[in-house]
Copies of this chain bind each other. A is one copy, B any other.
Amino acid sequence: MRDLPEFDLSRFLPYRMTVAAERLSAGMARRYRAEFGISVAEWRVLVHLADGGEVSIRDLEARVNLEKSKASRAAARLAADGYVTKVPNAQDRRLVSLSLSDKGRALMADLIPRALAFQERLDRLLAAERAALDAALDAILTEDL
């Protein structure tokens, strides 16, 4: 029986990156979920809405990498929970117009500082490698693989 080529999964970038991303998201996701019942998809929607302006599902799909049914469901949950108002867009009634409610604004006033604190913690941990890490991620995100 012929031997297989050597292959070390623990050095394989797609694997390493996936596990690292899970680690990074896990902590925040767990806390957000436990304290506020907010999922990662909902978090992305909220962040984009906090930027202001009228936002549609397709905007979310394009800007925060949420497949449209995922974005639609996240928005529906947030609207049901009162964090988000969802009305048809006046100019084009195919579109929905999402925006933060006062309750959603208050939620983000809690959440954003926590995210910034976590970001700073990562900055300290990765200080030396930060520039190269950003460059590598930019390359991966830009390049068409």
Contacts and interface: CB of A to CB of B under 8 A. Distances in A.
Q: How large is the interface on A (under 10, 10 to 19, 20 to 34, 35 or more residues)?
A: 35 or more
A17 B9 contact: no
Interface of A, helix, strand, loop or mixed by DSSP: helix
Given A7-B47, A18-B21, A105 B135 contact: no
A44 interface: yes
20 contacts: A1-B102, A2-B109, A7-B112, A9-B44, A13-B24, A14-B21, A14-B25, A14-B28, A15-B64, A17-B17, A17-B25, A18-B24, A18-B40, A20-B140, A24-B140, A24-B145, A125-B139, A128-B132, A128-B135, A130-B136
Contact of A133 (B7, B112, B118, B136): B136
